[in-house]
């Protein structure tokens, strides 16, 4: 991220002039869906949107605050002389409220979707560059979690955890667990999703919700993806010997999409472990692929061309348009568990899931409903025609060593009762 020199100078000045007990805040504002707007309304409208966003930001801020454009769809907002962390959060919430109203862009009213990352000094950083980086890391968290606002974590804590994670990846100290995906048509085990786990000797178990975004923000996305890919294929090669029809689903970080040689790297890994491409499904989240649809479409098409399956994870959770399914060569849609858990008690949710299943069938795409935890939910999904299900009713994620025994003990007749 190239930061304007005048912004860094103004931030350093604000830090020097801060009154005792006051804070200096930084908000990274990221404008989402620029590409979608360009497709729907034209590039001229999309290009004009950031100017309208800047005007709305100025109207919402104090006279002492400063706005800096740092990219085609990103801004930094400098907030000097804040009274408290609560004051900083109120400023961020005020900005979010401003974008609950549409912007006038030419002849169109456009709802701008923004994600905000908030950091402040001295808690999160002590200099201008570090403060901006903390705000950017926070907005990355907001985007990854499909939330509108995320607060920075303590800089020291993240730096230490990142170094521990770097060492764990290099020392092969992470582990994998696998969660079965069951086909409803005949109750067979259709696939196993590989999920990374980390038990840090100094910290105990660290949640994937914590270490995966940290890896992406800290430059370890490629290393973590490579480790996960090789570890999953190694274990899956053993599974295929006794269950040749079972696929392996592997999560892929969108941060590696633009890396040169990514597809060749995956093909080489398949060859090393003797795993057919058709038995592997690459999973990417809907939010991730929609962040840069053009790059995502190219990468996913290349993966499909070599025979791998492609699953769009957390479908329905983000800001996507169904029209983009024309670009993405998806073989599966994984319907987010926020929909699955409400299909029994909420008729509207049930109809929405039914519509997703119907849409997928019309496109020749399989569906997987995540988060199935009871028999009533399972029966509704059967009635709606969902293809596959995944969740604690079927099985919790299990260590590699338990896979063979679990697969052997679950015949098609009993696969849904495990």
- Cα–Cα distances in angstroms (integers) from residue 188 to residues 94, 247, 271, in the given order: 51, 12, 27
**Catalytic one of 235, 291, 332, 370:** 370
Is residue 370 part of the annotated active site? The answer reads yes
Alpha-carbon dihedral 357, 362, 364, 370, rounded to 10 degrees: -10
Backbone angles phi, psi at 275, to 5 degrees: -100, 125
- Cβ partners under 8 Å of residue 368, min gap 6: 181, 311, 332, 333, 334, 335, 386, 387, 388, 389, 390
- Nearest to residue 143, comparing CAs of 119, 113, 166? 113
- Cα–Cα distances in angstroms (integers) from residue 199 to residues 162, 169, 226, in the given order: 14, 12, 19
- Nearest to residue 189, comparing CAs of 368, 9, 1, 10? 368
The whole-angstrom separation of Cα 418 and Cα 415 is: 6
The residue assigned the tokens 């919430």 is 93
Query: What tokens does 372 get?
Result: 């199935």
Query: What tokens does 72 get?
Result: 């085609």
Residues with active-site annotation: 370
């Amino acid at each position: 991220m190239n930061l304007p020199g005048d912004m860094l100078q103004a931030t350093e000045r604000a830090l020097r002039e801060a009154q005792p007990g006051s804070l200096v805040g930084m908000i990274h504002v990221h404008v989402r869906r620029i590409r979608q707007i360009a497709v729907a309304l034209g590039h001229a409208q999309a290009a004009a949107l950031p100017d309208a966003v800047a005007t709305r930001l100025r109207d919402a801020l104090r006279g002492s605050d400063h706005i800096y454009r740092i990219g085609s769809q990103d801004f930094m907002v400098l907030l000097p002389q804040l009274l408290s962390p609560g004051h900083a959060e109120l400023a961020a919430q005020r900005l979010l409220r401003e974008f609950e109203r549409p912007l006038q862009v030419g002849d169109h009213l456009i709802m701008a979707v923004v994600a905000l990352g908030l950091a402040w000094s001295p808690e999160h950083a002590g200099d201008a560059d570090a403060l901006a980086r903390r705000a950017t890391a926070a907005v990355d968290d907001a985007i990854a979690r499909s939330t509108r606002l995320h607060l920075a974590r303590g800089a020291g804590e993240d730096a230490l955890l990142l170094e521990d994670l770097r060492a764990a990846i290099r020392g092969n100290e992470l582990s994998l667990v696998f969660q079965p995906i069951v086909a409803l048509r005949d109750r067979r085990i259709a696939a196993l999703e590989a999920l990374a786990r980390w038990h840090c000797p100094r910290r105990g178990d660290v949640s994937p919700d914590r270490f995966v975004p940290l890896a992406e923000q800290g430059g370890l996305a490629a290393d973590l993806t490579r480790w996960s890919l090789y570890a999953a294929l190694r274990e899956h090669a053993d599974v295929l010997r006794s269950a040749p029809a079972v696929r392996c689903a592997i999560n892929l970080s969108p941060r590696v999409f633009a890396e040169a040689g990514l597809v060749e790297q995956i093909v080489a890994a398949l060859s090393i472990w003797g795993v057919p491409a058709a038995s592997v499904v690459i999973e990417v989240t809907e939010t991730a692929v929609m962040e840069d649809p053009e790059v995502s479409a190219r990468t996913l098409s290349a993966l499909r061309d070599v025979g791998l399956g492609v699953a769009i994870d957390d479908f329905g959770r983000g800001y996507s348009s169904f029209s983009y399914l024309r670009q993405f060569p998806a073989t599966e849609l994984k319907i987010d568990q926020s929909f699955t858990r409400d299909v029994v008690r909420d008729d509207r949710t049930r109809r929405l899931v039914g519509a997703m299943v119907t849409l997928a069938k019309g496109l020749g795409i399989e569906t997987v409903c995540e988060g199935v935890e009871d028999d009533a939910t399972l029966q509704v999904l059967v009635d709606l025609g969902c293809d596959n299900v995944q969740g604690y009713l079927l099985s919790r994620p299990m260590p590699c060593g338990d896979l063979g025994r679990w697969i052997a003990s679950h015949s098609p007749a009993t696969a849904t009762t495990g």
